[in-house]
Amino acid sequence: MRILVVEDEVLIAESIKIALEESGFVPEVVSDGDTAWFQGGTESYAAAVLDIGLPKLDGLSVLRNWRKEKVDMPVILLTAKGSWSERVDGIDAGADDYLVKPFHMEELIARLRALLRRQGASRTPQFEARGLILDTRQMKVSVNGTPIKVTPLEFRLLNFLLHNQGRVVSQEELATNIYYQDQEPDSNAIEVLVGRLRRKLKVDIIETRRGFGYLIDTVSGGQT
């Protein structure tokens, strides 16, 4: 899932980016409020991690603008201050959670996952489909009880398809949600990736809908 990270302190932004990647998310980092306002309002993200102290436009203003524009993604606010009044301002602006710097990355990831569960984007740490189990906490995949070794990219692809189980997902949407912003996949990269994952899983669970995309069905399997 894509997570928008808005942080102008380079070291903190990089630490958050690494922690999110290691947890199976696809972070996109921006460093000023104007860019954050635009991207959050025009791109699709599962959630945002938003610093309050930003250049060009402060984080609270960014958040208020998003909410006025009906952008309803969960938002965790970050700030170097811990005053009660600032927390109230953040909640009033539409924040879903609040972290005061410095914080442990493990806490950020735990709070983010909790927000996504409450929003219905990730109701359970495990996804199951016809013998396949994907565990988002332990980052493990198994089929009929047998562990399957997958790459981080394969895990993100399978995770996204399972999050959207029952819906056809286009190659473009998959690429947007599993590759990092500095990666430019080849035109057939998704097709190759799906083929490799199918061979590892050895079950007909990822269906191809020619001209439309890929699907993990809620009922039956089989490639078409």
Rounded CA separation 75/63 (Å): 8
- Supply the pLDDT for residue 27: 94
Cα 187 to its chain centre, rounded Å, is 22
The CA distances from residue 198 to 136, 195, 212, in Å, are 19, 5, 18
Given a cut of 80, whether residue 119 has pLDDT beyond it is no
- Name the pTM for this structure: 0.68
Give the pLDDT band (50/70/90) at residue 173: confident
State how far the Cα of 224 lies from the Cα of 208, in Å rounded to an integer.
6
Residue-wise pLDDT tens digits, 89-117:
777 888 899 888 889 999 999 999 888 87
CA distances from 191 to 1, 197, 218 (A): 19, 10, 22
Domains along the sequence of the chain with CATH? 2-119 (3.40.50.2300), 126-215 (1.10.10.10)
> Is-contact 207 221, C-beta < 8 A?
yes
